[in-house]
Chain A
Amino acid sequence: MVCALPLAVLGVVFLWPLAVSIAASFTRAGAFTLANYGTVWRLYLRDVGYTLGVAAAGSALTFAIAIPVCGWLRARAFGPVEFLLKVPLFVPFVVVGHALRVFLSPWAPGLAGSWTGIALALAWKHLGLAALLLLGAFRAVDESHLEAARNFGAGTARLTRDILVPMAGPSLAVSAVLIFSSMLASFSIPLMMGRGGGAQMLMIDVYYRFGQHGDFETAAALGVVGYLMAMGAALVYLRRLTPRRGGS
């Protein structure tokens, strides 16, 4: 009974719309069909790979910056840097896309609209979230471990690499999943920065199918592909989130 209300809310706000969009992806003119997935395969397969690539590159870049900085902040707390690192949390996606486009265009006109430009902007935006999650995980590591390592002469880089990262591994994995999934679903930044031609992020294709063609069905099929892409990452997250049975 305790579960009834949360389950009902989950059913209405999540499962129902999900089921409707999955059903729409297998329908055209009221009849069952796989044609929408055929369109995705024919026209958007490259974009699926592109989206995975940009999200992976963006996530890697985010962690390449966040891990050493958060390691340094864990070892020697410094408020102003921590505050600056978290600023991107409060900057809207559209503003990040616009700001980086304006910033990059005069210096590197080709970069802003390229996959590297989009990955850079996504990394910038997600740095705040990564800092929030990583600092929490690093601070959960007991001080005695760090003290012991310091006694053996470990510097901040060594502490981060050999103590903080391994001990916060599960939390790092969960953070990576959350950030990667968010990047997969990004829309505003690619819309603001991307070009009208070439490979596109998947959400831009969803918008195009619906906005320009009124084609709900192919848009829904693209959405399902998006779910599946995020699902692999989400499974890792759920396995970490759910307590394991059997006393491990």
Chain B
Amino acid sequence: MLMRALVLLLALAVPASAATRLNVAIGADVNVVEVHKTVLGPGFKAQVPDVELNVVGTGTGEPASRAIYTKIRAQADAGRAPWDIDVALVSMAVASQMVKEGLLLRYVPQMKNAALVKGAEVKEAFGVNVDGYVVPMFQNQIAIAYNPAKVPAPPKTFDDLAKWVAANPGKFGYNGIKGGVSGVGFTMGWVYWKTGLYKQLTQGPFDRSREGAIREAITALRDFNKNVLVTNGNAGTLDALNRGEIAMGAVWIDQLVAWKNEGRMDASITPVLPAPGLPIYPLYLVVPREAASREAAVRYVDYIATPEVQARAIVERFGWYPGVDADRVLPLISAKSRELLFKGVSADDLARYSRQMPIKEYHDLITLAYEEIVR
């Protein structure tokens, strides 16, 4: 982690020649860094020529976002201003923590596209009011991917899934809670299904008396896991699916689509979103409170939130779900992209079964129960 922070420090310390320098820190995989370097950055520069973008990736998963948080927190603690990150792409968990600790700028009202930033996830994240602080670059959905040759009737509900797994031991996989957010998300979806407490767990307030129901749900998950292959990550689940070791698994849709686009994945593997649903987990664009180039930072995020840019760079090119108002973005994409995007999981499914992550207290209670009971 320290190394990541040092690399970030060195990368951001390189002197720039242009009038305004925009340091963009991306807490996501190299493909997301590349979008900023090769598509979004040049597109923005064509509109605002006197800005020079410096895009730095900090890795993958939650630790990547934490590296950004650690750096900003250190600068805030040192009382040094301005801070040297202007735009950051961070996870929901880290963004909510940064809002709570007063590290972010409430910049969305300054955007021209502010009206397009909508949905429950831009109002509240892990129980923190993030309204005005975050713009999702894109949305990512956790779904159940299946091999149609081995699963002729994919599960429509969690109940179907549990029955299928009992009848087909070892043929369903997910990555537990230590292998990344898709496994955590599957666990949350399981708890929502078993407890029926989706609204309470996502909207709060925290009520300790729910612990019994949560632990009961996790105990059922322990029994479910006896017939499950617990992989070491999302890529591990996709790999096991591709090799035929399993016939179904909980995965991020974007990685499934990306692997299929790259020819690394059996093209027939299809996602499905069983009721009552699984979490959607956006990556948020945020502007640190003391960013040196705040005005340019807001303009850059505004550019990314433009429906045309979302359609071209986010949906068509990468198969991600749009980060801003889908009603404005989706009419701009081609029929082929639409088919790829909604194959298996329709827009209607997303509207009905996309679930939020629980508030932080419940999130921690559920993961703790998992560690204690499932082990």
Give A residues with C-beta under 8 Å from B.
Answer: 42-43, 46, 105, 109, 113, 191-200, 204, 207-208, 210-214
Are B62 and A212 in touch, CB under 8 angstroms? yes
CB-defined contacts of A193 to chain B, threshold 8 Å? 232
CB-defined contacts of B93 to chain A, threshold 8 Å? 214
CB-defined contacts of B229 to chain A, threshold 8 Å? 195
Q: Give the size of the chain B interface in residues (CB under 8 angstroms).
A: 33
CB-defined contacts of B211 to chain A, threshold 8 Å? none
Are A195 and B232 in touch, CB under 8 angstroms? yes
Are A197 and B374 in touch, CB under 8 angstroms? yes
Interface residues of B in 58-108 (CB under 8 A from A): 61-63, 66, 69, 93-94, 97
* A6 to B97 Cα, complex, angstroms: 41
A-B contacts besides A199-B375, A210-B66, A213-B367, 8 pairs, CB < 8 Å? A42-B372, A192-B232, A196-B174, A196-B175, A196-B176, A196-B236, A212-B177, A214-B93
Beyond A211-B66, A214-B97, whether A200 also contacts B245 by CB under 8 A is no
* CB-based nearest A residue for B225: A197
* A197 to B218 Cα, complex, angstroms: 14
* A195 to B180 Cα, complex, angstroms: 12
Are B178 and A46 in touch, CB under 8 angstroms? no
* A242 to B99 Cα, complex, angstroms: 54
The 3 closest A-B pairs by CB, nearest first: A196-B179, A197-B230, A196-B176
In the assembled complex, the CB of B333 is this many whole angstroms from the nearest CB of chain A, namely 34
CB-defined contacts of B62 to chain A, threshold 8 Å? 211-212
Give B residues with C-beta under 8 Å from A.
Answer: 1, 61-63, 66, 69, 93-94, 97, 174-180, 183-184, 225, 229-233, 236, 243, 245, 364, 367, 371-372, 374-375
Jot down 17 A-B pairs with beta carbons below 8 A, ordered by A: A43-B371, A195-B176, A195-B231, A196-B176, A196-B177, A196-B183, A196-B230, A196-B233, A197-B176, A197-B178, A197-B374, A198-B230, A198-B375, A211-B61, A212-B178, A213-B367, A214-B66
Are A204 and B243 in touch, CB under 8 angstroms? no
Q: Interface centre among A46, A196, A208, A210, by most B CB within 10 Å?
A: A196
* CB-based nearest B residue for A197: B230
* A247 to B179 Cα, complex, angstroms: 55
Beyond A197-B176, A197-B374, A212-B178, whether A113 also contacts B66 by CB under 8 A is no
Where chain A touches its partner, the secondary structure class is helix
Are B231 and A196 in touch, CB under 8 angstroms? yes
* A194 to B236 Cα, complex, angstroms: 10
* CB-based nearest B residue for A43: B371
* CB-based nearest A residue for B230: A197
In the assembled complex, the CB of B142 is this many whole angstroms from the nearest CB of chain A, namely 14
Beyond A43-B371, A105-B243, whether A212 also contacts B175 by CB under 8 A is no
* A229 to B229 Cα, complex, angstroms: 31
* A193 to B178 Cα, complex, angstroms: 13
Are A196 and B232 in touch, CB under 8 angstroms? yes
CB-defined contacts of B233 to chain A, threshold 8 Å? 196
Are A109 and B245 in touch, CB under 8 angstroms? yes
CB-defined contacts of A211 to chain B, threshold 8 Å? 61-63, 66
* A238 to B2 Cα, complex, angstroms: 29
Are B372 and A200 in touch, CB under 8 angstroms? no
* CB-based nearest B residue for A208: B178
Are A43 and B177 in touch, CB under 8 angstroms? no
Beyond A43-B371, A195-B230, whether A200 also contacts B178 by CB under 8 A is yes
Are A210 and B1 in touch, CB under 8 angstroms? yes
CB-defined contacts of B175 to chain A, threshold 8 Å? 196
In the assembled complex, the CB of A8 is this many whole angstroms from the nearest CB of chain B, namely 21
In the assembled complex, the CB of B7 is this many whole angstroms from the nearest CB of chain A, namely 17
In the assembled complex, the CB of B226 is this many whole angstroms from the nearest CB of chain A, namely 10
In the assembled complex, the CB of B369 is this many whole angstroms from the nearest CB of chain A, namely 11
* CB-based nearest B residue for A195: B230
* A200 to B177 Cα, complex, angstroms: 12
CB-defined contacts of A195 to chain B, threshold 8 Å? 176, 179, 229-232
In the assembled complex, the CB of B277 is this many whole angstroms from the nearest CB of chain A, namely 22
